């Protein structure tokens, strides 16, 4: 008997996009690394056409670029780009968080609380990657609550670059402390729980400014 709700299969292009995006964001393909189409196609076991479609999407997101010689590489990173991206992020996420505090529901509050608990467990064991992951999920829940489609659309366009810089700080900075990120998310949680929009926005902006300082410190040390 066939299922009436079959699982939708992922296209080769979507598969390649998701795999490559994850490897770039997680720094498995480090900044400025050369990308050879033949090697990528072989590794992913797909043809050149869907691979090129995936690479084009990654180029639009600012994760891949084409050099003057025509070869592709992972986009380099820089303090200037980090500052630009995170200044815009601060403004957009501050706005979304303020609105989320006003529109907060019990269900969403429980979802945020679950992520806080997961962050606590990760921070207690100094699991940096997990702390970053659950922190990202916490932010995504807040974004989903807001009804400001324009702000969310602009933030989505920056998402890949934001996530890569967050991991550079979380994975590469020896001074990164999961407990600091946890306490900042707790401050945001407490503010939205109280439906205090101004305090929630201030807590989010403060968190993002501190994140930028950590990223700049990491880039100065590594690059």
Query: Whole domain around residue 185: which residue ranges?
Result: 79-222
Same domain membership, residue 85 and residue 39: no
DSSP string over 165-221: HHHHHHHH-TT--HHHHHHHHHHHHHHHHTT-HHHHHHHHHHHHHHHHHHHHHHHHH
CB 146 within 8 A of CB 96: yes
CB 200 within 8 A of CB 184: no
Number of domains making up the chain: 2
DSSP string over 42-105: HHHT--HHHHHHHHHHHHHTTSEEE-TTS-EEEPP--HHHHHHHHHHHHHHHHHHHHHHHHH--
84 inside domain: yes
Same domain membership, residue 136 and residue 35: no
- Would you call 51 helix, strand, or coil by DSSP? helix
pLDDT digits (tens, 9 = 90+) for 200-217: 999 999 999 999 999 999
Q: CB within 8 A of 3, min separation 6: which ones? A: none
CB 108 within 8 A of CB 145: yes
Residue 178 and residue 184: Cα distance in Å, rounded?
10
Domain boundary among 50, 74, 98: 74
pLDDT digits (tens, 9 = 90+) for 6-55: 445 789 999 999 999 999 999 999 999 999 999 999 999 999 999 999 99
Residue 48 and residue 12: Cα distance in Å, rounded?
10
The residue-averaged pLDDT of 76-105 equals 97
Calculate what percentage of the chain has a pLDDT beyond 70.
96
Domain boundary among 74, 102, 118: 74
174 inside domain: yes
Looking at residue 26, which CATH number applies to its domain? 1.10.10.10
The pTM (predicted TM-score) of the whole model is 0.86
Q: What is the residue whose two structure tokens read 């010689």? A: 69
- pLDDT reported for residue 9: 76
Count of CA atoms in the C-beta half-sphere (13 A) of 133: 10
Report the chain's mean pLDDT, rounded to a whole number. Answer: 93
Q: CB within 8 A of 131, min separation 6: which ones? A: 119, 122, 123, 170, 178, 181, 182
Same domain membership, residue 65 and residue 84: no
Same domain membership, residue 193 and residue 112: yes
Same domain membership, residue 53 and residue 26: yes
Same domain membership, residue 176 and residue 216: yes
Residue 97 and residue 189: Cα distance in Å, rounded?
10
3 inside domain: no
Same domain membership, residue 187 and residue 160: yes
Looking at residue 163, which CATH number applies to its domain? 1.20.120.530
7 inside domain: no
């Amino acid at each position: 008997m066939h299922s009436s709700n079959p699982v939708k299969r992922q296209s080769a292009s979507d598969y390649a996009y998701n795999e490559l995006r994850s490897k770039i964001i997680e720094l498995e393909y480090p900044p400025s690394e050369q990308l050879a189409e033949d090697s990528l196609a072989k590794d992913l076991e797909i043809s050149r056409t869907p691979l090129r479609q995936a690479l084009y999407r990654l180029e639009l997101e600012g994760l891949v670029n084409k050099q003057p010689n025509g070869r592709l590489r992972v986009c380099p990173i820089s303090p200037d780009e980090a500052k630009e991206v995170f200044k815009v992020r601060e403004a957009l996420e501050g706005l979304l968080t303020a609105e989320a505090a006003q529109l907060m529901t019990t269900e969403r509050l429980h979802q945020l609380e679950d992520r806080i608990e997961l962050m606590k467990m990760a921070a207690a064991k100094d699991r940096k990657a997990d702390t970053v992951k659950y922190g990202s999920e916490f932010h995504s829940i807040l974004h989903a609550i807001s009804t400001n489609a324009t702000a969310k659309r602009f933030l989505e366009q920056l998402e890949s670059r934001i996530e890569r810089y967050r991991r550079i700080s979380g994975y590469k900075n020896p001074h990164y402390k999961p407990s600091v990120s946890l306490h900042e998310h707790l401050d945001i949680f407490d503010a939205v729980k109280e439906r205090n929009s101004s305090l929630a926005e201030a807590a989010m902006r403060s968190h993002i400014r501190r994140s930028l300082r950590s990223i700049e410190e990491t880039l100065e040390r590594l690059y």
